[in-house]
Structure 1
Amino acid sequence: MEQCDGDDRISTLPDDILVNILDRLNVREAARTSILSRRWSQLSAVLSQLTISARDFLRSKSSISDGELRRINAAVVKATKSILARRDPGGCTIRLLSTAFYLRDDVPISIGHTVGIAMATQKIENAEFTVWTVKERLYCTVDDMVNYGAQFVSFFNECLNAFAGLTRLHLENLRFAESDFVSNILGTCKQLKYLGFLNCDTESFIELQVEHAELSELSIVNCRFDKVNLKWLPRLTRTTFECWMSFEEPPLSLGHVPLLEVVSLTNVALSWHKMVNLSTLLFETSVRDLRLGFKCEKIWVQPECLTRRLASVFHRLRVVNLVNIPEGYDLTWTMFILEAAPSLEEFYMTVIDHPCEMQMDMEKRRARLYSERKGVEWVSPASNFKHHCLTKLIIFCFESKAYMVSHVRHVKKAAVNLKDVYLYNRLACRNCVRMRRIKPTRFPQSEKQRCSTKKLMTQGIEPLARIHFLNPVEMSADHNVRIL
């Protein structure tokens, strides 16, 4: 470091700037600065952002042994107790206290008691628990989930004070013996703003009723509930609903959700599953950002002709993102969204098959009733309609095949104010590469190929939108966030 009057330049900065810098580090990294000087050691006791994660204490990214798991969980307990003990109860407000740990032994209860005491003695604006299980989702048996569920219930019952003050809670791989336990969580955690379930369920196949006064974001992924009813969530703005088990119409019921703006729906549809009418599913909402995922399998959305009901659902829609559309099928059906959403500004599409995620064995596909035909047909009743707000069309994994080129022409012809068309080459997938399942791409690489493809897309269509052929490494941040 450069020296300035015998001191380094960083140490000459005001305390509030140094604290702001330390707040951007995890607790383990921030704690290491305390050895620099007495001043730095004092700063670590006034941080406003405290993020303590078991994974920050991992020695390597390899599989975690039992001994390693005990060590890192113990490190989380020690760090949590040490950091909170050094703080002045009447001092600076803790803007965020986030702890992430594994559901193992008595460690969660120790953390829960420590956080509960801190909530009672200090000013904490936001408190978060992220609870991981020893086994990851793909390796969890039903017995594992039952065992993890029982452990979490014990943790929950022992630490009600801590849960009562939480603003964010993420749970995974839990099966609850009591069918109403999710309701118990919602009833106790009255301050929750975010609630996430990954691979969770109850022993009885139930309809999940969700009511909460403060919840603004809800994520339900790979959970086996008969149906999810978002009955009363006056502050809900975002929801993710992925891989539902039942195919009633609709599988998700939206009640009082007046602020809901961002919706993400993803599923693997089998041949017997019913199509979902978005006009029914999203009725009486004001969604602005809609993400629909298809897991490279059958299209489960029912294309609809424009009706007053559909128009009322899509009237505020600004962004649509269609993810993992199966390859090789006509894309004209997506135009029904464009016709129904006059305010749509950005339209994203990813057209790709992921062998690493798909069932590739044909006998198993037939036995489990996967669809042989994944596409869907739709004939527009308004072939000459014009869209005036769409300015960006973004297609990931573009190939110069007839059905893709034709679709770009359809959109360009309808969207009279379209400014930019971004066409990206195939996205890299490490798992597919590892399986040696990568197909050769037909993305136009040479200047000659690009000129030829552009000519096919634009011939006879005015005005001309700018067409960008890009590789994923050139992807902008706003596009990148749409494929995560």
Structure 2
Amino acid sequence: MARTSRRREAAKLMAKPSVKAGPPLDKLKVNPDDRISKLPNDILLNILDRLDFRDVTRTSVLSRRWSQLPANLSRLKISALSFMPSQTSIPDDELGGTLLRINAVNAANAAVVKATKSMLAHRDPGGCTIRLLSTMFYLSGDAPISIGHTVGNAMATHRVEKAELVVLTEKNGQMCSIDDLANYGTRFVSLFNECHNAFAGLTRLYLENLSFRESDFVSNILVTCKQLSYLGFFNCDTEDWITLQVEHAQLSDLSIVDCCFDMVELTWVPKLTWLAFEMLGSPEEPPLVLGYVPLLGVLRLSTIACKMVKLSSFLHETSVRDLTLGFKCEKIWVQPESLTRRQAHVFQQLRILNLVKIPEGYDLTWTMFFLEAAPSLEELYMMVCS
């Protein structure tokens, strides 16, 4: 009996696998186990913060735990572009394509309204801070005002560190007529007047394809949006060409591209560090005047005018270290000159220089000027227009 018992025990040991067997296959199907789901919430939230909004919503169907994560995101980025169909699905014919695009824009705006309200409704007002609330939408239909009110309410009830609005138009700049620009400008003024609370708390604002009937409306934007750190205008103007005077305590980044003002004067912008400027100006005066901008370090300048200004005089109140001059194959309105020792200090901090589409014949003049004027220059890029 003892010998038989030992044989049975030995048989069991021989039959036992050396590695512990995993759970049955049917259990794996019911309770899938993955390494991502084992990560702590703060790491998962960090991953979700980097995803497109539509991808974030798709993760919420994975499990109850995943469905609760979006309510704690620190960066809410909701864009109408995420809900737009591909360009290939819009017909080429003008009437059919226009109607389909308008319908797509309205549907995308409606999706932005729904998504913004849903994301904010599930958040605890006393919970984690919203580091960035970014909303991109089209200036079409009634949706913009709904979005403006939703963003304004979020600022009033939640802790929002940064808030951004990107206002787009159905037509791009090349397709816009004068009437289109005026129409978009009227729509934006209505949005602005209706949603003052939202604009008052913004830190970033981008506007495109707008024409304002009130010549001082751009100044009203600066006065109302006191928290702005970035302001971008593309293809914007007023009915009467004006001198736009910019005074703002918080503005650090400013972009004015393809706009029509008589002149832009940066009267007092003490925190401005980055400026992109490209617009048509008055032929009698320089289109841009740099007033009190002591921290200006990066300048992208691409403008043609008849009035010529010495570069050292133009930059004398700045700390420019990264300079781009866009010539557009013509003479640019700032020019090199013979420098005195006092004037040369303007270029002491210049490290990076881009000369874009410089006319053939002027490249050597500008190159020699900067090589002599900027002793600390580290990078030089040049594109000659033949």
* Same fold (TM > 0.5): yes
Partner Cα separation in structure 1 for residue 286 and residue 333 of structure 2? 11
Deviation at 1:268, TM superposition (A): 4.5
Give per-residue Cα distances to partners, 1:113-164, cap 9 Å, x unaligned: 0000000000111100000111111111111111111110000000000000
Say if 1:140 and 1:173, in contact at 8 Å, map to a contact too. Answer: yes
Give per-residue Cα distances to partners, 1:36-56, cap 9 Å, x unaligned: 111111111111111111111
Structure 2 equivalent of residue 262 of structure 1: 298
Structure 2 equivalent of residue 194 of structure 1: 230
Deviation at 1:197, TM superposition (A): 0.5
Say if 1:211 and 1:230, in contact at 8 Å, map to a contact too. Answer: yes
Deviation at 1:330, TM superposition (A): 5.0
Deviation at 1:24, TM superposition (A): 0.3
Which of 25, 44, 53 aligns to 1:27? It is: 53
Partner Cα separation in structure 2 for residue 132 and residue 80 of structure 1? 17
Structure 2 equivalent of residue 329 of structure 1: 361
Partner Cα separation in structure 2 for residue 208 and residue 9 of structure 1? 56
Structure 2 equivalent of residue 72 of structure 1: 108
Give per-residue Cα distances to partners, 1:252-311, cap 9 Å, x unaligned: 111111111111100256xxx233421121122111111111223344442211223531
SS of the equivalent of 1:221 reads strand
Say if 2:249 and 2:270, in contact at 8 Å, map to a contact too. Answer: yes
Say if 2:286 and 2:333, in contact at 8 Å, map to a contact too. Answer: no
Which of 152, 155, 176 aligns to 2:188? It is: 152
Over 3 Å counting, the alpha-carbon distance change for 1:131 and 1:6 in structure 2 is closer
Partner Cα separation in structure 2 for residue 8 and residue 224 of structure 1? 56
Q: Which amino acid in 1 is paired with 2:151? A: V
Say if 2:286 and 2:307, in contact at 8 Å, map to a contact too. Answer: no
Say if 2:102 and 2:170, in contact at 8 Å, map to a contact too. Answer: no
Say if 1:236 and 1:260, in contact at 8 Å, map to a contact too. Answer: yes
Partner Cα separation in structure 1 for residue 219 and residue 319 of structure 2? 26
Over 3 Å counting, the alpha-carbon distance change for 1:251 and 1:307 in structure 2 is farther
Partner Cα separation in structure 1 for residue 126 and residue 384 of structure 2? 55
Structure 2 equivalent of residue 433 of structure 1: none
Partner Cα separation in structure 1 for residue 369 and residue 336 of structure 2? 6
Larger radius of gyration: 2
Partner Cα separation in structure 1 for residue 238 and residue 342 of structure 2? 35
Segments of structure 1 that go 5 or more residues without pairing to the other structure are 354-484
Structure 2 equivalent of residue 49 of structure 1: 75
Does 1:243 pair with 2:279? Answer: yes
Within 5 Å, which residues of 2 pair with 1:294-443?
294-326=327-359, 328-329=360-361, 331-334=363-366, 335-352=368-385
Structure 2 equivalent of residue 38 of structure 1: 64
Q: Which amino acid in 2 is paired with 1:97? A: L
Partner Cα separation in structure 2 for residue 351 and residue 80 of structure 1? 48
Q: CA RMSD in A?
A: 1.7
SS of the equivalent of 1:259 reads coil
Say if 1:190 and 1:213, in contact at 8 Å, map to a contact too. Answer: yes
SS of the equivalent of 1:173 reads strand
Q: Which amino acid in 2 is paired with 1:329? A: G
Over 3 Å counting, the alpha-carbon distance change for 1:6 and 1:33 in structure 2 is closer
Q: Which amino acid in 1 is paired with 2:301? A: L
SS of the equivalent of 2:377 reads coil
